[in-house]
Amino acid sequence: SSLPQLPPDPNFLPFLGTLRWLRQGFTGLNIYLRSVHHRLGPIISLRVSSRPAIFVANGSLAHQALVLNGAVFADRPPAAPTSKITSSNQHVITSGIYGATWRTLRRNLTSEILQPSRVRSYSHARRWVLEILSDRFRKHGSEEPIVVVDHFHYAMFALLALMCFGDKLDEEQIKEVGYVQRRMLLNFSRFNILNLFPKLTKLIYKSKWEEFLQIRREQEDVLLPLIRARRKIVQEENKDYVQSYVDTLLDLELPDEKRKLNENEIISLCSEFLNGGTDTTATTLQWIMANLVKNPEIQERLYQEIKGVAGEEAKEIEEEEAHKMPYLKAVVLEGLRRHPPGHMVLPHSVTEDTVLGGYKIPKKGTVNFMVAEIGRDPAVWDEPMAFKPERFMGEESVDITGSRGIKMMPFGAGRRICPGIGLAMLHLEYYVANMVREFEWKEVKGCEVDLAEKVEFTVVMKHPLKARAVPR
């Protein structure tokens, strides 16, 4: 028998395909890939550079790769030139090579910051941010349309910034951190061109390179003083404070290099923490609220559940109460299925040549898993494009970590699964519940909800939701 071949490639002349989607940008790439999958099946490859890029659009194949053959698929490709700088040479979790350094950094985040009792110690921050949100919405009055996503961005930045730098930040500092982080994020795809034939583009796009480095420097200027201030607090006060992410990084030792992290690496890790949990969650909140505005009967059923659990007079839904609300959970899951903020997980790479779905996956290949396609697969989901939380109300619950099988994977699956999954679910449930408890969200005449998508950093609403918040 012959050795397995690479997955089918739609392009007779591979380079032409690459040029086509470079011209169309990320939105174009998504549409192009979807059409290729329809023609050639759930696993395809594109020759982009010397490394073939493989795309997997099927939950069962994703499960075989990421869960059943997890160790082999847990690596990341080498960082492109711009990410080399933002990741301090892959000394962060998201782009870390599968090995001891990545494991140390990831374990530090999950066991020091994202474990349940530490997450509980930040509940005052969530309540504070909820008050800020409600104040802002109430100030608008029930007639004036609110562009909700701007407020969600601020709210999520505030939460993550407090967890990152400690709970003594004020609103001005939070705004400043939000500004430098968002500037990097929104320019991310513009700078991508610098990663194509880097030696050449560094010359041709000299000013773009300088602009990129300038944005990184501004980020350093804002984050470094916060990191140094924290070092002082840890050294001086020693007990009377809630531990922050930066605190855990100050003492951490890299296992291979046997040294502590330098300041540049700490900046990259903080930046990763802030970005990982803000844009993703704010985007998802917006999609969920859009569907609640578009479907008042779903919003009403949710409100009835909230009232039933918390009581008519409750002023705030406590975090623990959210666990007693199965319909709330179903609404959030349906939001993540129908509108995953990332249409693909971060690129994976394999540690050795391997086989998937009968095709060869070469060691230097990049493997991309198509989250949106998987969650909208008509062979798995009935009416996949409809927003129906009821589908999650049956006896058989969907396992969102995918360990027993993958029907949707908004957080990825396997060894690289999003470590923030618990925190993200908490934020989504807590804010959706409280916003629906306090206000009835209504469509604005002339600005009807439009579910069209646009690729920004995440996949966002092309026409951001504008809605009225009528106090209940």
Using CB under 6 A as the binding rule, whether residue 343 contacts ligand HEM is answered as no
Contact yes or no for 189/25 (Cβ under 8 A): yes
Nearer to ligand HEM, 10 or 70 (CB): 70
Which of 33, 267, 418, 435 is close enough to bind ligand HEM by CB under 6 A? 418
Binding residues: 418
Nearer to ligand HEM, 36 or 333 (CB): 333
Q: Is 424 in the site for ligand HEM (CB under 6 A)?
A: yes
Cα distances (angstroms) measured from residue 23 to each of 16, 26, 193, 339, 453: 11, 9, 11, 25, 18
416 contributes a contact to ligand HEM by CB under 6 A: yes
In the complex, least distance from residue 333 CB atom to ligand HEM, rounded to whole angstroms: 11
Position of tokens 């923490």?
Answer: 273
Q: If you compute the radius of gyration of the chain from its CA atoms, what whole number of angstroms results?
A: 23
> Residue 258 CB, nearest distance to ligand HEM (Å)?
22
Query: Could you give the CA distance from residue 359 to residue 338 in angstroms, rounded to a whole number?
Result: 29
| Residue 300 CB neighbour total at 10 angstroms | 13
- The crossing angle, in degrees rounded to 10, of helices 171-191 and 263-294 is 90
Cα three-residue angle 323-325-330, rounded to 5 degrees? 105
Write down the least CB distance from residue 470 to ligand HEM, Å: 27
**CA–CA distance, 118 with 12 (Å, rounded to integer):** 54
| Residue 263 beta carbon to ligand HEM: minimum distance, rounded to whole angstroms | 20
Vertex 255 angle, CA 252 and 260, to 5°: 35
SS3 282: helix
The answer to whether the beta carbons of residues 351 and 342 sit under 8 Å apart is no
Write down the least CB distance from residue 431 to ligand HEM, Å.
11
Establish if 375 lies at the interface with ligand HEM (CB under 6 A): no
CA atoms of 41 and 407, how far apart (whole Å): 17
Closer residue to ligand HEM, CB minimum distance, 77 or 412:
412
Among 412, 434, 449, 465, binds ligand HEM (CB under 6 A): 412
Helix (H) or strand (E) run with residue 53 in it: strand 52-56
Distance from C-alpha of 399 to C-alpha of 409, rounded to nearest angstrom: 9
CB of 382 to ligand HEM, least distance (A): 23
Pick out the residues of the known binding site for heme: 418
Asked if 346 touches ligand HEM (CB under 6 A), the answer is yes
Q: Which residue is nearest to ligand HEM (CB)?
A: 420
Residue 181 lies near ligand HEM (rule: CB under 6 A): no
Judged by CB under 6 A, does residue 94 bind ligand HEM? Answer: yes
| CA angle at 100 for the pair 95 and 101, rounded to the nearest 5° | 50
The residue count of the chain comes to 472
Residue 260 has phi, psi (to 5 degrees) of -80, 165
Residue 459 binds to ligand HEM (criterion: CB under 6 A): no
Site for ligand HEM in 258-287 (CB under 6 A): 272-273, 276-277, 280-281, 284
Three-state secondary structure call for residue 265: helix
Q: Smaller CB distance to ligand HEM: residue 82 or 209?
A: 82
Q: Which span sits near ligand HEM by CB under 6 A: 42-50, 201-209, 394-402, 411-419?
A: 411-419
Structure tokens at 241: 């404070």
Q: Does 460 help bind ligand HEM (rule: CB under 6 A)?
A: no
# residues contacting ligand HEM (CB under 6 A): 24
Q: Residue 309, CB half-sphere, CA atoms under 13 Å: how many?
A: 21
Interface pick for ligand HEM out of 246, 289, 330, 345 (rule CB under 6 A): 345
Tell me whether residue 119 or residue 196 sits nearer to ligand HEM (CB atom).
Answer: 119
Comparing CA positions, the residue from 281, 278, 305 lying closest to residue 428 is 281
Binding residue for ligand HEM (CB under 6 A) from 178, 341, 365, 402? 341
What residue ranges in 141-288 does DSSP mark as E strands?
Answer: 146-147, 253-254, 259-260
| Piece of the chain touching ligand HEM by CB under 6 A; list 51-59, 340-348, 393-401, 436-444 | 340-348
Tokens of 143: 């007639």
Task: Return the range that interacts with ligand HEM (CB under 6 A); candidates 35-43, 226-234, 418-426, 440-448.
Answer: 418-426
Report in angstroms how near the CB of residue 11 gets to ligand HEM at its nearest. Answer: 26
Q: Is 137 one of the binding residues for ligand HEM (CB under 6 A)? A: no
Q: Tell me if residue 188 falls in helix, strand or coil.
A: helix
Which residues in 104-123 contact ligand HEM (CB under 6 A)? 106
Q: Tally helices (H) and strands (E) across the chain.
A: 17, 13
User: Contact region for ligand HEM (CB under 6 A) — 10-18, 122-130, 337-345, 396-404?
Assistant: 337-345
Least distance in angstroms from the C-beta of 403 to ligand HEM: 13
The footprint of ligand HEM (CB under 6 A) covers: 93-94, 106, 272-273, 276-277, 280-281, 284, 341-342, 345-346, 410-412, 416-420, 423-424
